Amino acid sequence: MSDLPRYEYVKLADTIAADITSGRLPQGAALPGERAMTELYGVSIGTVRRAVAELRKRELVATLPAKGTYVIGVPQARPDTQTDDEPTD
């Protein structure tokens, strides 16, 4: 199944999600506008729109009409098997 090609919009959404996870796009940061993203990532405006919709679906961004799209969440990392407050022997 890993041999299946991924859609361009999913690749773009994953790229932006990685920027959010790394802190390059912190919570509250505005994403570039649609036209700027088409030039930045070399994709069509339809791909940008679908990628942003995917990010909204993942609850990572919110779009405010006539204002822009902003980071509202950070992907949750898997919990560690041991927390800092657990005693170790």
Q: Tell me the C-alpha distance between 82 and 39, whole Å.
A: 44
pLDDT at position 30: 97
- The per-residue pLDDT for range 45-77, each reduced to its tens digit, is 999 999 999 999 999 999 999 999 999 987 765
- Across the range 81-85, mean pLDDT stands at 49
Residues 6+ apart with CB under 8 A from 9: 43, 47, 48, 50, 51, 54
- Global confidence as pTM: 0.78
pLDDT at position 81: 46
What is the identity of the amino acid at 53? A
